[in-house]
Structure 1
Amino acid sequence: MINEYEKLLAGLDDVDWASLSHAYWSAHDVPGHIRTLCGDDDEARKQAFNSLFNSIFHQGSRYSASPVAVPFLARIAVAGPAAAREKTMLLLTRLAVDWHDEYDVTTGINVAGWRAAAAEAGPEEFLPWYEEQLAGVTDTDERAQLQELRDWVAAGNSPDSRWSALQSYDAVLAELPGLLVLLDGDDRCLRTRIAYLLAWFPEFSATSLPRLLALAAHEKDPVTAATALLAAGLLGRWAVG
């Protein structure tokens, strides 16, 4: 590990990762992958990114470990090794909005509707069902499996993908104030990435929209300027809608 990046990982080992889940159940391996992103081995970093994309963002699914990883990834995106920052921004975008850019690029995301749907699919909605099922099960193996799922839901998890994805989205939303510094950086790829990410957060538009319009007006790189303009257009739709 390069010492200059140790501060970005403060608190990483304080998380009980083994009690969290990802696509392959226990998330005990997540801190190791995050730490590798700040190392100096390019091949190991590549493998770590692959592992994170396949575990905390598996084919678009988010898990209990996903939002917990977000603050550490945000720190790396802002001040991590140059070789890690752009791809970390891509991972943050995926953790926030899945593949929405493939479907909603002309309309943005109806976050209010998403929140309403997720509110009907939280853990408190599922817990009574699991407890009812447990009361009627006599098979030992089936009961053990149901008990494990019931305990997982009781710990604050939901089997509904809309709910789990929203937890990840909100974790990225909380990091946006710190990520805004990338709009003023020297790296055009990072300027493009943060402009793109901001497009999917209408709840942050009072802060982000003026910044995006300023970037579109003064940015010399055409791809970055176009991305900022597109993001502003998506956010403006919700701001006036």
Structure 2
Amino acid sequence: MFDGLHDIDWASMEHAYGSAEEVPALLWALRSPDAGERHKALDRYYGAVHHQGSVYPPTAASLPFLFELAADDATPDRAAVVALLVSVGRESLDRGFEDDGAEVEYYPPMGCAQAVAFLRERGAEFAELARDPDPDVRLAAVPGLGLFLDDADRAAAVLRERLVAECGIAARLRIVEAAATLALRLPTAWRQVMDWLAGLAADPALGPVARLAALVQRARCGPDEIGEDVVPAAVGLLRETAHAIPARRIAPAPSRPAVPTNGVAPQIVAAFEDLDRHTRVYAPTTALLRTFHKALGARVSERTAVLAEQLRSPDPGSRLDAVRMSGELMRTWRGDHTRLLLLVTDQLTTADQEVAAEAAAVLESCHPIAAPAREALAAHTDAQRAAYGPNVWGAPQALLRRSHQEAVRALARLGDARAPGSLRPPGRDRASPGLDFACQVCPL
């Protein structure tokens, strides 16, 4: 194991935080029987050697040893190692090359070209890992078939084989995505993949999620071939998908150590909380639907039709992600967004405070066109004050508090005279602490 590891002058290379001399110890720690030690090593590798997706010379130099770990059944967390290999390769492709294939120069120098070249030399190993007995290893390896295996026929054959063998939604979504990645990377694979995806999208025996994935990934591969029937078909499959995937309550955010906020402006604290929320994905089909919206591009009316169906989902997490996507569309593309705006407004009445808060936040961010939502926002804030009292702005329940605050801010953005009712509860001469932003945006 690790022949030649110590023949490399790691100390002469640098990662995000200086000398890379620690890399051998990190690689050995990934084989440790102690789960805590493995987790610490993997976290350090991502934090320093693969910092925020960066690919440095020591990142590329460690790839042969990561492959050894991935191939060794004695490695405890092989799936995590395979996922790391794929991440390094994907980031190398995304960051290291221009659209014409020319290498991008970064400072400090990075190993993108070396990493991609090495991973493509070893691309056939992803075909073996995609057949591994461990389902987590298979799931992690599948993207490598699209990214690194240069034998188009073999890669397509393995992907077809795996789609038949795998039943899980996550696996099938990755297999179809890898097929599209293969088609976009290798022109020789494009036609066979497009035909395969068309067949999958039309196969009623496959199930609505996989059929929707095939339809979306085909649109990704050929946006110029998106016909008038594509969006209606997607809407129908979305409707079927809503019944195929059981609705679940939105999972609470993972607990994190409390961060001292003394002396920190409330707007800064809120900004970091907002960033944390927006890194979460709440539904298994969200990434797929984002791909579809990207493929549709400027087709605003068709994207609105898709979002309308997303917003009707019985699953609150799917609706929450759809509310965010709706805000992105309205802020990015010009057009008549009244229908979409009202669909987002309807989410204010949901029983799920997190969805209602997100809807209010979108209405606030889209305030130049949000006038049709004025009465609904006022009704929402009035209902909350009636149910929870005049001090609901500072309610101890975090979701209720955010839902109310976002709605009041949205009203304030519209210059509505009803907004100050929450800003200055009865018996108070001035706004409560932390309301500076709302007071500033309200012209009343």
Q: TM-score, structure 2 length as denominator?
A: 0.38
> Matched residues in 1 for 2:29 and 2:4: separation?
15
- Report Cα offsets for 1:6-25 as digits up to 9, x if no partner: x2x22211211111221122
> Matched residues in 2 for 1:192 and 1:18: separation?
34
How many angstroms does 1:240 deviate by?
2.5
1:58 to 51, 59, 64: 51
| Aligned-partner residue type, residue 70 of structure 1 | L
| Aligned-partner residue type, residue 115 of structure 2 | S
| Aligned-partner residue type, residue 214 of structure 1 | E
Q: Please identify, of 81-90 and 38-47, the stretch whose mean Cα deviation from structure 2 is larger.
A: 81-90
How many angstroms does 1:167 deviate by?
2.4
2:102 to 105, 108, 117: 117
Q: What does residue 10 of structure 1 align with?
A: 3
How many angstroms does 1:117 deviate by?
2.4
> Matched residues in 2 for 1:27 and 1:111: separation?
21
| Aligned-pair Cα RMSD in Å | 2.8
How many angstroms does 1:99 deviate by?
9.3
Q: What does residue 24 of structure 1 align with?
A: 17
Q: What does residue 107 of structure 2 align with?
A: 159
CA contact (8 A) 2:31 2:75 kept: no
How many angstroms does 1:114 deviate by?
5.0
How many angstroms does 1:181 deviate by?
1.5
Distance 1:13 1:197, change over 3 A: same
2:171 to 193, 201, 224: 224
> Matched residues in 2 for 1:173 and 1:212: separation?
17
Stretches of structure 2 that go unaligned for 5 or more consecutive residues are 192-444
CA contact (8 A) 1:216 1:226 kept: no
How many angstroms does 1:61 deviate by?
1.2
CA contact (8 A) 1:199 1:232 kept: yes
1:92 to 85, 98, 101: 85
CA contact (8 A) 2:50 2:88 kept: yes
Distance 1:112 1:54, change over 3 A: closer
Q: What does residue 210 of structure 1 align with?
A: 157
How many angstroms does 1:178 deviate by?
2.5
Distance 1:63 1:99, change over 3 A: closer
Q: What does residue 76 of structure 2 align with?
A: 83
Q: Which has the larger radius of gyration?
A: 2
Does residue 178 of structure 2 align to residue 240 of structure 1?
no
Match of 1:200, SS state, is helix
> Matched residues in 1 for 2:108 and 2:102: separation?
10
Following superposition of structure 1 onto structure 2, how do residues 170-189 of structure 1 map, counting pairs within 5 Å?
170-189=117-136
- Report Cα offsets for 1:158-198 as digits up to 9, x if no partner: 6377x632322222222222332212221111111111232
> Matched residues in 2 for 1:192 and 1:214: separation?
14
> Matched residues in 2 for 1:40 and 1:73: separation?
17
- Report Cα offsets for 1:124-170 as digits up to 9, x if no partner: xxxxxxxxxxxxxxxxxxxxxxxxxxxxxxxxxx6377x63232222
> Matched residues in 1 for 2:92 and 2:96: separation?
15
> Matched residues in 1 for 2:61 and 2:96: separation?
21
Distance 1:227 1:58, change over 3 A: same
- Report Cα offsets for 1:7-49 as digits up to 9, x if no partner: 2x22211211111221122111000010111121111111110
Distance 1:55 1:185, change over 3 A: same
| Aligned-partner residue type, residue 190 of structure 2 | V
CA contact (8 A) 1:37 1:45 kept: yes
Q: Please identify, of 33-42 and 211-220, the stretch whose mean Cα deviation from structure 2 is larger.
A: 211-220
Q: What does residue 153 of structure 1 align with?
A: none
Match of 2:52, SS state, is coil
CA contact (8 A) 2:123 2:150 kept: no
Distance 1:16 1:206, change over 3 A: farther
2:137 to 190, 206, 209: 190
Aligned pairs, how many?
188
> Matched residues in 1 for 2:95 and 2:51: separation?
23
Higher helix share: 1
> Matched residues in 1 for 2:151 and 2:34: separation?
36
Q: TM-score, structure 1 length as denominator?
A: 0.68
